[in-house]
Amino acid sequence: MPTIDALSERLTEYLDQQQIQQVRRAYFYAEQAHDGQRRKSGEAYVTHPLAAASILATMHLDHQSLMAAMLHDVIEDTEVTYEGVHSQFGESVADIVDGVSKLTHLEFESKAEAQASNFQKMVLAMAEDIRVILVKLADRLHNMRTLGAMRPDKQRRIAKETLDIYAPIAGRLGMRDLQVELEDLAFQAHYPMRAKYIRRAVVQARGQRKDIISSIQETIEQRLRQEGLKGTVSGREKHLYSIYSKMKSQNKSFAEIMDVFAFRVVTDSVDDCYRVLGAVHNLYKPVLNRFKDYIAIPKSNGYQSLHTDLFGAKNITIEVQIRTKEMDAVASQGVAEHSHYKVYGDSDNSDSAVGSYKRARKWVQGLLEMQQRAGNSMEFIESVKEDLFPDEVYVFTPKGRILELPAGSTAVDFAYAVHTDIGNSCVSCRIDRRLAPLSQRLENGQTVEIITTPSAQPNMAWLNFVMTGKARTAIRHFLKNQQRHESIDLGRRLLNQFLSKYGSNADEIDQAKLLELLDEAGFKSLDDLLEDIGMGNRQAYVVARRLRPESDEEAGDQHGSPLSIKGTEGMVLQYAKCCRPLPGDEIIGHISAGKGLVIHRTACRNIGHLRDDPGKCIYLEWFDGLKDEFVAELTCQVESHRGIIAELATVATSMGADLQEIDIEDHEGKLAKVHMELLVKDRIHLARVMKKIRVLKTVNKIIRP
């Protein structure tokens, strides 16, 4: 176990004596605060924060981060408060400690919700100071190293959370070394038998591969010497979780994955990287389409390197990564290589370190935006999981700006990545100057142009294909708000319809009665009550009776005058699929809890038993100026022959009806039944279409169900 003296000795490498003294003071403060507390393993509790600080010291983090690591559990587990830490160690340290501390004194429905809320709070703190997540990752790494003291079920839960959230975050911040250790420890805790068998197979294969690796390494080194190029060549070991993930995702055997030999070449400059690439391509034949230039276009976590696959002798596949020393340091430590204090404090920062930091900040800002729009902590954490994809596609805006998106992203993801308002108003897109569907998956190097209109709005169907958490959260946020506004509007119209019988309306309600009703129902405002009416959860005529003026007698007709349907009520108004009402039909509305108003034809058999119940049905009429299109269904009995479907479709479209669906349902000898779904303007438009189809010689009968 590390001691404070051993840590202090190590810190002399990069901190001054005064800063080391502050770290020691934080340790003794934590030791006193945790006095008497023990870990599950039986050790004094203070050994955990000391170990977390030691992990950060290996990354050369600043003294404030180390102090926060020492103190990260005092607010949660002891009597010490935020104000106490603030007065002793300053605002920066107190804010980091507060960001890392879990949410306490709150009741959650489940462990998952508690974890999601903790992470949500941490993101808010990360937006202020990126060091919050670095301290949290060090805390998690030491907990994973000492996980054996926990119960098996708790080990699996913590391991799963690590694989789902913390290891991918470490990867997203470019902290490769920490990510690999977290993944391997979590893999061994979650799948102990699988980890055991793979480790045994790796040890066995290592002995068989040793000579081949040495031979290839020596050959590459010899070629670099011949070309006069400096470079350190080393073989790369695949870690257990990486092998397991590839076996699972690529459906490959262990032998197939271990057949690939991986090497890394670390050199002095970017120019040397490309010269080394030329040398290894001269030495071994490159595999087509397996070269990636992450130096020119870095990964979203700041990672830079050249990747190439080569055909070696005896059918051996060789993977080679080529990078500079600075890139290698950033690849290992990521944002921790030059954390907040270094990026702005030093003048000797490398471009790759600053780039890594800026990308990390941009990602955290994106998380913050998602957090603000998410409906709850569980929805937010699901969005974050979707956003932690290891693979990206790189696409261009029309002006040549590069955007990084998760693999499988669509034009809608691209639109929201540019700006939320662009995503909300997009209607179509051009990919490489050609019109394409919004759901089309994007590929590397494509240029994407988004076409918008001010009147457009997100479609719920987009949630079926978007990949990024930002797009998913923004769409849900918009639809949720839209549904509320539409529910309030419909609720107001329904309430006004019944209040009109008493010579009143929603703006003239007796405030004392309204406050009494709101208090009884648990609502804060009239809008909440109207939303509940619009969603069909509360009967408008019952509310109207409660709020009617004292002087008015009970009205005779509980239905009131018909409500006018404009067709713009959106998500809280639906047209029944059983009877497909059209403008011109007599209609009635069925108030369905949670759905709002469902419109039927008055003659529809499904609505008959509810027709006289004012709590369930309301009489409606069509607004005169409707310009929408409506779905109508037709059933035709035809004499079956080749081309009958095309014939019917041609006639329907010639009458201005947009054909949505057409199919032959069944045959009786030469007769067949054809089902059609059309978009028409009203009942008269449908009648014209039916008249035109009826003229066809092969059509025996046509009806509207």
Quote the distance between the C-alpha of residue 420 and its chain's center: 14
Alpha-carbon separation of residue 379 from 123, 263, 320, 421, 447 (angstroms): 14, 41, 40, 21, 31
- Both tokens of 237, joined, read 């070991």
Whether 77 is a known active-site residue: answer: yes
What angle separates helix 351-373 from helix 469-499, to the nearest 10 degrees? Answer: 20
Catalytic residue, chosen from 31, 43, 77, 113, is 77
Here the contacts of 137-140 (C-beta below 8 Å, separation 24 or greater) are 137/166, 137/169, 137/170, 137/175, 137/178, 137/182, 138/52, 138/53, 138/55, 138/56, 138/69, 139/48, 139/52, 139/69, 139/72, 139/100, 140/166, 140/182
Alpha-carbon distance of 579 to 632, in angstroms, equals: 9
- The DSSP bridge pattern shows strands 306-311 and 317-324 to be antiparallel
Query: 94 by DSSP, 3-state: which?
Result: helix
- The string over 689-702, giving b where at least 16 C-beta atoms fall within 10 Å of a residue's C-beta and e elsewhere, is bbeebeebebbeeb
Residue 103 gets which letter from DSSP? P
Task: Kindly provide the residue ranges of all beta strands, DSSP E only, lying in 514-643, ordered along the sequence.
Answer: 563-565, 573-575, 587-592, 596-601, 617-622, 630-639
| Paired tokens of 526 | 């009239």
238 by DSSP, 3-state: which? coil
* Nearest Cα residue to 316 out of 451, 162, 169, 212: 212
Name the catalytic one among 5, 9, 43, 76. Answer: 76
Amino acid at 416: Y
Token digits of residue 134: 């670095």
Q: Which of 621, 532, 624, 630 is nearest to 577 (CA)?
A: 630
Helix axis angle, 91-100 relative to 111-128, nearest 10°? 160
Render 608-626 in DSSP notation, one character per residue: GGGTT-TTTEEEEEE-TT-
By residue count, the chain amounts to 705
Q: What is the chain's alpha carbon radius of gyration, rounded to the nearest angstrom?
A: 33
Angle between helices 111-128 and 131-145 (to 10 degrees): 140
Is 508 noted as a catalytic residue in this protein? Answer: no
E strand or H helix at 157, and its extent? helix 152-161
Q: How far is CA 587 from CA 78, 428, 534, in A?
A: 67, 35, 18
DSSP per-residue string spanning 443-479: -TT-BEEEEE-TT----GGGGGT---HHHHHHHHHHH
Give the whole-angstrom CA distance, residue 154 versus residue 156: 5
Residues annotated as part of the active site: 76-77
